[in-house]
Amino acid sequence: MRKVIVGGVGMTPFGRFLETSLGDLACDATRQALGDAGLEVGDIGLVAFGNAAAGLLNRQECIRGQTALRGLALQGAPVINVENACASGSTAVNLAHMAIGAGQCDVAIAVGAEKMYNEDRLVPLRALEAAADAEELDALKRRIGAPLDEPTGSVFMDLYSSVAKGYMARSGATVEDFAAVSVKSRASGTRHDRAQFRATTDVDAVLASRMIADPLTLMMCSPIGDGAAALVLVSEDFARRRGIRGPEIKASALASGMPSDPEAPPVATRAAALAYETAGLGPEDVDVVELHDAAAPAELVLYEELQLCEPGGGPDLLRSGRTSPGGDMPVNAGGGLLSRGHPVGASGCAQLVELTEQLRGTAGPRQREGARVALAENAGGWLGHDAAATVVTVLVA
């Protein structure tokens, strides 16, 4: 398999942009990424367009990428539309990586974009429910204690509430630990000029914010948002010919949940194991991490599932300061989903934009000095007792 290089990245601000279209966001990020790589639209051999819910949110069910990017005049380049819930963006990168690695093209661009804000706040909540098995949704809600009638909050926050309670029981984690994750995230967000939330906070303020699903308060939950991010991937030979420099994607591992086997390792653990094996690296080699903190407790759970610490060691790793800004293994230095924001189809690409900037040494006040190995974990949907899909990506400077 050929080596694949991240040649360029682009990302819009994440936030609430009611007057901006999905296409405006996607084209903006794509132009940024192409400009960063020093390439033109005509150089693109493949477009992988990640979007989770435009059909439910914006009424564009089919040909999402073709319509969103029509302003770029793609000159007939193949566009593949990728929908994998919140893992849509990272799955698009996985597809683009495979295409270049297999020799199908020398340049591919992965674009993740989502426009979630709506005048009717129930529209995005209903769309998010579609990331669970529709035939089992009521049974899932009963199991986790979520309301069965008209939604007032996200069923996924009810899921994370259930996960958080189980994690507290087995690890000794406290609600103050979850609040500390949010505080860390907001501190990182202040260092990111494209983050949705850019104000610091403290543990007391997080705990005092509105209760969403006990023990999760509002500031422990990722927001909905609008935004896009893009990555230009190129083959090693093409990069050499064109003088393009960037980190190599050493591994991109996609795995699915296994609802028929409740004893199976978590999908994040299985994807991470494959990524580590493919990259020839281990968790001890990782310098900087982006992970899917859709709710604050998920960060601690994923410390363990990604083997960044021993089972039950998540609270101690958080308290050690190693994963904080300035620590030797910062986690979600770009603010994570909690503060950078979570336009679901864009989040996986945004994680990899952040890690590319870290490995280039261009992350500014967020920079982890000397970063050489980076890992991203991006999950999507829910199936049984686990995420439906997870992509783990390893990049090396």
Torsion of CA 210, 351, 380, 309, to 10 degrees: -80
Which one of 27, 192, 342, 349 is the catalytic residue? 342
Q: Cα(121)–Cα(141) distance, rounded to whole angstroms?
A: 20
Count Cβ atoms below 10 Å from residue 201 Cβ, excluding itself: 18
Closest-CA residue to 286 (of 377, 193, 153)? 377
Contact 50, 344 (CB under 8 A): no
- C-alpha span between 12 and 26 (Å, rounded): 8
Q: Is 62 a catalytic residue?
A: no
Task: Give the contacts of 144 (CB within 8 A, at least 6 positions apart).
Answer: 155, 158, 159, 161, 162
Return the number of other C-beta atoms located less than 10 Å from residue 230's C-beta: 36
Annotated catalytic residue: which of 27, 86, 309, 349?
Answer: 86
Q: Does residue 86 have an active-site annotation?
A: yes
Helix or strand holding residue 159 (H, E): helix 155-171
The structure tokens listed for 156 are 């996924």
H/E stretch holding 267: helix 267-279
234, amino acid identity: V
Distances (CA, A) of 69 to 1, 61, 86, 94, 111: 29, 15, 20, 20, 10
| Residue 19: how many other CB atoms lie within 10 Å | 5
Annotated catalytic residues are: 86, 342
